[in-house]
Amino acid sequence: MSGALRLWTGRDHLFGDGFSAADVCAYPFLKYAIARNHADVEAFHLVLEEHTRLEPGHLRLRGWLERVNRRL
């Protein structure tokens, strides 16, 4: 199992069950994997969207993104 997959094994957030600064810091970069406001044409955001696309098997990552998105 890759290191990234282990991050979400048996927990809801990056460092355990509790929402933390780690989630807040990672989310702004990873959120482009699920959605980008199409009015946002910032070059860096377009690059993030292009390189962070989720594959169908990335269910834990998608779940984490959705949980953090609801909080922010």
DSSP structure class, residue 39: T
On whether the CB atoms of residues 45 and 32 are closer than 8 A, the answer is: yes
16-60 tens-digit pLDDT: 788 999 999 999 999 998 888 889 999 999 999 898 888 888 888
Give the separation between CA 31 and CA 9, rounded to whole angstroms. Answer: 20
* The model's pTM: 0.77
Distance of alpha carbon 41 from alpha carbon 19, whole angstroms: 30
